[in-house]
Structure 1
């Protein structure tokens, strides 16, 4: 028991995250043109790596396949966001969900087939076999069934949408929380990072539009302010794609058992 207590104590100090105060993962959803036109050039200019959750229906995976492959070759993670981005249509504010892609009309077999087909497509893009997943709309269930149970072995981790900054020993690798960004200022984004640094936790950002391209949007100046703050504080903040951070968390948690 004493050994476990000692390891748990590490979860609250600055040695946990590769010798730094916290970990920050930048994630971008839906394979948008602005990912390629705005987000990736900004990241690359500072040498920062991020995770892009791609859905197969996105037109950019057809028209800009070369650009996505270049992003992967440059160290960004191409991750699974399903083929058709199905969400639960019966929830409030879900008027955009069509009946064909309503999780209420899905079976577990249908969603798992769709997820595995996306993995096959992504492997054809980047040649990789290890990957992470993000639940479309943060919906984790078909009716009362958590569908991740059928595809857990296909992924190192899965990102949810609940806002949280968990300590490394409390993270649920198959429902990692994040902060969905929509209209926050650069100062507000940096304040979240400072909070994670103080608490020695994981912080995951979820972006859609970056300088436009989606109704959920972060301005280019705010996005730039965040990235520059992260770069300026690299000695104290571990910034890496979700796959790399999740593998590290899994190894750490295994050591607690």
Structure 2
């Protein structure tokens, strides 16, 4: 399916539009950058084109480097970004495991939110950089499309329904809210410096995202659950197996804390 890229002025009025498709005359005009990478501050959207008859596998929409294609898959780009970011993927996965997020897992840490628009295990997915997203609505002319407006005055018509994208964005926001809640618990429990105000972690699109209030476990249960997931994930990553299940690890941690008389 085609994509449509709009360029806007300072008043968000349309300046020009561009149609993007697999047609050879169109795709050949898009620069190929073999060693491109995701930049958290400038990359807006990754679109999988591995089924198109073109050398490229991914279209990269970037507000500085412009639209370009690469032979790297979206999965390769995301994995490289995670490896080169000062964030522990194992820790992030522990947060997701605690919330039972095990499908179309977004990359959420602080004010970074990279959100897949479908599952990622069977084939590469499209990815939207939610921290760069300003607005999202259904395309009036193409109901099966969403119109995503980003920083840098670019607007992309994406062939994914608005409801689907919103569901993914809500999931990512819930993970962020949980991370902030846990960190606040740490600050309160150990008298640490408080976090920055919440709005420092929010994105412009958050005004359109409604999250139901989470009724989470008490602080001790939450932290033990996170530690158990972190322990099992780390062992699995380093040694190929976790040794104990999450449930067994939680039981051992509770027993050890009770023995030590710690709450």
* TM interval, short-chain normalised: under 0.3
Higher strand share: 2
TM-score, normalised to structure 1, is 0.27
For CA contacts below 8 A with separation 6 or more, give which structure has more relative contact order.
1
Q: Which has the larger radius of gyration?
A: 2
TM-score, normalised to structure 2, is 0.26
Higher helix share: 1
